[in-house]
Structure 1
Amino acid sequence: MTTSSSLLPALLWALSFFAVHRVPTGSAQSLPPARYDGFLYAEHRVDAGTIVIEAFLDPVCPDSRDAWPFLKEAVDYYGPRVWLVVHLLPLPYHDNAYVASRALNIVNLLNTSATFPLLELFFKEQVKFYNAQTVNMSKAAVVSYIANFATQVVADSLKSAVVSGFENTQTDLKARVSFKYSASRGVFGTPTFFVNGFSLPDSDSTIDYSGWRNIIDPLIAAQGDPREENVYFF
């Protein structure tokens, strides 16, 4: 996390970077994308009474790492009453965040059940990917390092698929779409949380388990009897 005054120039730099470093036009991603951005934490039915949480996280951000266990605990507590989507926002001053985000997209394409274990593995061993730890490594070496790291959560038979995934423009496009989606929502720091479409005040601070309970319990109580609402699927 960084103050807003220092984040805005970084965001402008990142936007200009992605504008200049475009994927060839033949494989360009049109917006909006075919599917809603983000990784769904749990597969379950969504109805009109479901509390929707969107979390914008950076796999190499210490504040994202610290916020995740509390959010996960709260979502697990509420079960199908809460629907969590994680959007990846690789911050430009975390040198390896974009490659880590690509690794998460690659693994998600190969095995959706491995996506969050990989995110948690990045958080657990995050120090390996800080700027200072890889400052003397080439970009190709960093990609190889992260690709091999990511294979820990998938079957050995998929190792080559993870490595070759970094040559697939579609995984690059998915990571770019996530960045653009974050920008479209006015998000420029991690972690940032939206609940039922609204940004939480000071959500770039770590919200502990009690904090999440204090946010969600009144929303559920205010809904009344959920059986009176019509069921729909997101």
Structure 2
Amino acid sequence: GPYVIPSETPRGEKYLSRIKLSWSTMATTASCPPPSVLLPIRTTTAGARLTSSHGSRAGHAVTTTGGAAHARPPLPMGMARALLPQRAPLLRRLLMAGALAASCTCFLLVLQAQASVPPRYDGFAYGVGAAAWKDAVLVEAFLDPLCPDSRDAWHPLRLAVERYSPMVSLIVHPFPLPYHTYSYHACRALHIANKLNSSSTYPLLELFFKNQGKFSNRATSSISSTAVTGEISKMAAQAVGNSVSEFQSGFSDMRSDMAARVSFKYGCTRGVAGAPFFFVNGFLQPGGGSPIDFSTWTSILEPLVAHHGQTIEMLTSV
């Protein structure tokens, strides 16, 4: 029902002002206009009546005893918008739709860009235990021929593998880093050497480590790609034993290009993000991107080799 407030008494005026003040505070926090805007107010000599009616608008009249009705001014634009039903902002909807479309696009690209399975396992097996690497502790190293950290990591790794051979096998996957300009060409050279003479692959890798300064970004900044491959072929011919022209023709063979791509993609599928990266029996070793010294390799391989020897004894006794 209606509320009657004596407006002519000081107490009634004070009470009415408190109601308006409280509604103004609520309007600020809840975006709702005060009742003086939404509700028509009729003031009489006996008191003030606040009545509400459905469908009331801002154009309600205010009448006083002995006077004519005065039209209430229209609502401000912000308050009029507050009276409209709330809905999700258009920008938020567009952002959500864009994010969904981007996620679907990335998912489709990942499915489309998955590397095809190569005909043979990637990498170059090292040492006398290469043929039986499946029956030994397997160490996989992702190395960049032109990376200084890969160069520093190679010597202690080679010593550790040779110490525990044939119970430990090593496979090196060439992984060209994009910030070494001619690293991809060096990885192609390793695949060319492995095809021409498989025993020359690791000697060529060590030649790259020894001559990294010759193929660094600064040293090759003013040299063409053809000239760089020519220098690589001259150096590689020493390790492979073939003629320079025969080795350089391998850079025109798309099979060496595809082999280098497979090596890079294989590293990406394993989560390799730099060089050197190491895996032991398929498990990533900590400190990826940094060399591992000989003592650390010993602490990693010693327990595995001991356990592997016990397993072999149990199998042979049975």
TM-score, length-scaled by structure 2: 0.60
Please give the secondary structure, in 2, of the residue aligned with 1:86.
Answer: strand
Question: Counterpart in 2 of 1:177?
Answer: 262
Is 1:62 paired with 2:134? Answer: no
Alignment check: 8 A CA contact 2:133 2:168 kept: no
Q: 2:164, 2:305 within 8 Å by CA — same for their partners in 1?
A: no
What is the letter of the counterpart of residue 222 of structure 2?
Answer: N
What SS does the corresponding residue of 2:298 show, helix, strand or coil?
helix
CA distance in structure 1 between the partners assigned to 2:208 and 2:193 by the alignment? 13
Measured in 2, the distance between the counterparts of 1:48 and 1:38 equals 14
Higher relative contact order, structure no. (Cα contacts within 8 Å, ≥ 6 residues apart):
1
CA contact (8 A) 2:174 2:187 kept: yes
Q: Residues 164 and 32 (structure 1 numbering): CA distance in 2 closer, same or farther, change over 3 Å?
A: same
Alpha carbons of structure 1 residues 138 and 208: separation in structure 2 relative to 1, 3 Å: same
**1:125 Cα offset (Å):** 1.2
Mapped partners of 1:31, 1:68: distance in 2: 29
Distance in 2 between the 1:34 and 1:225 partners?
Answer: 31
Q: Tell me, yes or no, if structure 1 residue 203 matches structure 2 residue 285.
A: no
The alpha-carbon deviation at position 189 of structure 1 amounts to 0.3
Counterpart CA distance in 2 for 1:59 and 1:43 is 22
Alpha-carbon distance between aligned partners in 1 of 2:289 and 2:207, rounded to the nearest angstrom: 22
Is the contact between residue 145 and residue 205 of structure 2 (CA under 8 Å) also seen in structure 1?
A: yes
Residue type of the alignment partner of 1:147? S
Contact 1:67 / 1:191 at 8 angstroms: preserved in 2? yes
Question: Aligned match of 2:122 in 37, 58, 64?
Answer: 37
Distance 1:103 1:214, change over 3 A: same
Which structure's CA Rg is the greater one?
Answer: 2
Determine which of 144, 166, 177 is the counterpart of 1:80: 166
Within the alignment, does 1:124 sit opposite 2:210 as a pair? Answer: yes
- 1:149 CA drift (Å): 1.8
**Over aligned residue pairs, what C-alpha RMSD do you find?**
1.8
Deviation at 1:43, TM superposition (A): 4.0
Q: With the length of structure 1 as denominator, give the TM-score of the two structures.
A: 0.81
Distance 1:133 1:72, change over 3 A: same
Q: Calculate percent identity across the aligned residue pairs.
A: 49
* Partner residue in 2 for 1:164: 249
